[in-house]
Amino acid sequence: MQDTDAWSLYWQNNHQESCITPCNETDSTILIDIWQNFALDLKPNFELLDLATGNGSVARRLISFNKQLKVTAVDQASIDPTKYVDDNILLDNIQFVADVNIEKLPFEQNIFDAVTSQFGLEYSNLSLSIPELVRVLKQAGRFLFIMHHADSEVVGPAKLKVKEFNLIFESNLLHDFELFLSNNLSLEELNKTGEKLLNNPELIKSNAITGQIFSAIDKLIVLKNQNKKQNAEVLLNTLQNMTNRIVAENSRLEQLISSSLTQIEIEALCNSLKNEGAKATFKSITLSDNQSVIGWEIKGYKL
Ligand SMILES: C[S@@+](CC[C@H](N)C(=O)[O-])C[C@H]1O[C@@H](n2cnc3c(N)ncnc32)[C@H](O)[C@@H]1O
């Protein structure tokens, strides 16, 4: 599966945003405050560009705080937030453009008053996307990027999940289940594969991954047994959809891990911005109570 397909699938499944710890309202609040301060500091008629926008969470936030802003929001994935976003009341001032690689922006130079990105810019090849974003910014145009931090609270758990997925792929469970559904493997053989995986001491079984996969397999086995004449194609299609979702989730997590940046890498990024004619500063975004890290904040302007 291509990296981009993994994201297209994600946004078409109605996710409103990504890479914020699930259920962590504090992270969300801290990020919202950062975008609120930025939006309120912009003139109402400003034209903004939001890079790697997904379903437009940043674009929608900016408009909610400063209603006259105009935002162009681009992503390489096949996005169409007007179909998938719940609060589409805020979409009037946003122009979404799908299939745009931010390494080669389809815009004239010096046309945007500000450029933004939340957990997006770092997924691209920075040696190509940084010159591009500076090129399209007007002189004195501002930027604000929130980026993955190598020590952040989403990167550690992502590494554990990728390990869990990889052990499941290596176990051949999904392949054997396909053979079972097409009557080319006995239930006994399938159970052996399942038990071997569950007994693997390296597997940290989470409810969200191993638990859900085993529960889905159990349900399909019941369906197959209930109706022996059930069209095998239907069950195989269900398995294929499930496998696609698992492969996509794994791909997105691998991208998240490899896009996260250490302090040395952030310093290099700020130097690249400087070499392109911009001034940039960075700081880490942390939770005030336990000091865990949410990401990097990079901001500045074109000289
Ligand atoms: C973690 S999501 C962030 C989405 C959004 N900014 C948010 O905060 O909800 C990363 C996004 O980067 C996009 N992306 C990755 N590489 C890209 C590239 N080279 N050009 C444009 N978008 C890219 C992906 O398609 C995905 O939607």
For the chain, which residues make up each domain, given as ranges?
3-151+260-302, 155-256
Q: According to the model, what pLDDT value does residue 9 have?
A: 84
Does the structure show a pLDDT above 80 at 89?
A: no
Nearest-atom index, ligand 1, CA of 57: 9
Nearest CA to ligand 1 atom 15: 123
What is the Cβ-side half-sphere exposure of residue 254, based on CA atoms within 13 angstroms?
Answer: 16
Q: Is the CB of 8 under 6 A from ligand 1?
A: no
Residue to probe by mutation, ligand 1, list 123, 124, 126, most atoms within 8 Å of CB: 123
Q: According to the model, what pLDDT value does residue 184 have?
A: 94
User: Is the C-alpha dihedral spanning 262, 268, 269, 274 positive or negative?
Assistant: positive
* Calpha distance 52→77 (Å, rounded): 8
Q: Is the CB of 81 under 6 A from ligand 1?
A: no
Residue-wise pLDDT tens digits, 18-54: 765 554 667 778 999 999 999 999 998 999 999 999 9
N- to C-terminal Cα distance for the chain? Answer: 41
Residue 188 CA: distances (Å) to CA of 167, 185, 195, 238, 239: 21, 8, 10, 22, 19
* Calpha distance 113→90 (Å, rounded): 20
Q: According to the model, what pLDDT value does residue 90 have?
A: 66
Q: Is the CB of 35 under 6 A from ligand 1?
A: no
Quote the tokens at residue 41.
């500091």
Nearest-atom index, ligand 1, CA of 256: 1
Residue-wise pLDDT tens digits, 119-137: 999 999 999 999 999 999 9
Does the structure show a pLDDT above 90 at 191?
A: yes
Higher-scoring residue by pLDDT: 53, 7: 53
Quote the tokens at residue 66.
């400063």
Q: In terms of CATH, what superfamily is 3-151+260-302? A: Vaccinia Virus protein VP39 (3.40.50.150)
108 CA to middle of ligand 1, Å?
21
Strand partners, 195: none
Quote the tokens at residue 106.
């389809």
* Calpha distance 169→246 (Å, rounded): 10
Average pLDDT over residues 168-190: 94
Nearest-atom index, ligand 1, CA of 8: 25
Nearest CA to ligand 1 atom 19: 124
- The least confident of 109-118, 141-150, 282-291 is 282-291
Q: According to the model, what pLDDT value does residue 230 have?
A: 62
